[in-house]
Amino acid sequence: MTYETVIQRLRFRMRDVKNVPLLYYENGALFTVVNEGARELYRKTRDFEKEADLTIVTDQYDYDISSEIATDVGEIHDIIMATGSKPLSPRAAKPFNKMVADDVGDDDDETNGDVTSSAPDWFRVWNGVLRIYPTPNEDDTATVYYFAKEPLISYSNANLTLTVRLREDYLESLLTYCKGLVHEIAGNEQMADKKKADAFAMLEEAKANKESYDFDTAVSYHGALD
């Protein structure tokens, strides 16, 4: 579904919303509303999965995510080292820092200490930087599996034809959430909150009914073949 398609449907849904500034019936303003709604719902679905290679450099433990992995990384799901196909385990910043502090000596002023390994075990993300521990003592490659973030897109006539990066199953959720944003613009906070809550409920229902490819469940895709 394109932005143009969603905007047309949203404009139809807006007929009963009172006190909407005339500006918000135009494509440019509605494009912004739809993009904001899509970004908010997308963060809750995490459906768009990607992978990228990360070059592991000897004695380097910090890697800038946007320049060394990809610019659209939203949330890292898994990191697999090429050597031995070993996965790195994630840690939040505080327990990660405590683990490092417990491992290194008091007189060691290096961030990761002098602890090195040919097969690092842990990673954490902070302020756009991926840090791995122990510090690698050999060059290697890792595959980073991540959920891509939904970009903030500026309006143009050409961008109307861009695909909204949400499954079509979530269209009703998106339209309802965007209508809530329109109510918010019109100054009706109570209706805005109701529409947004309705949109999130629809989203969860759609997520619960989508196809599953977990190994411990039945794998279906639009029904079985007879």
Tens of pLDDT, residue by residue over 127-138, are 999 999 999 999
State how far Cα 117 lies from the chain centre. Answer: 31
* Sequence ranges of the domains in the chain: 3-46+150-206, 49-148
Which pLDDT belongs to residue 82? Answer: 92
Length in residues, the chain: 226
DSSP state of 166: S
CA angle 175, 179, 182 (to 5 degrees): 140
Distances (CA, A) of 62 to 69, 73, 123, 129, 205: 12, 16, 10, 6, 40
What is the per-residue pLDDT across 126-173, written as a single tens digit (0 to 9) for each? 999 999 999 999 999 999 999 888 788 999 999 999 999 888 899 999
pTM for the predicted model, two decimal places: 0.68
Residue 41: which of 142, 134, 216, 180 has the closest Cα?
A: 180
Query: What value does the mean pLDDT take over residues 71-98?
Result: 90
Residue 108 pLDDT > 70, yes or no? no
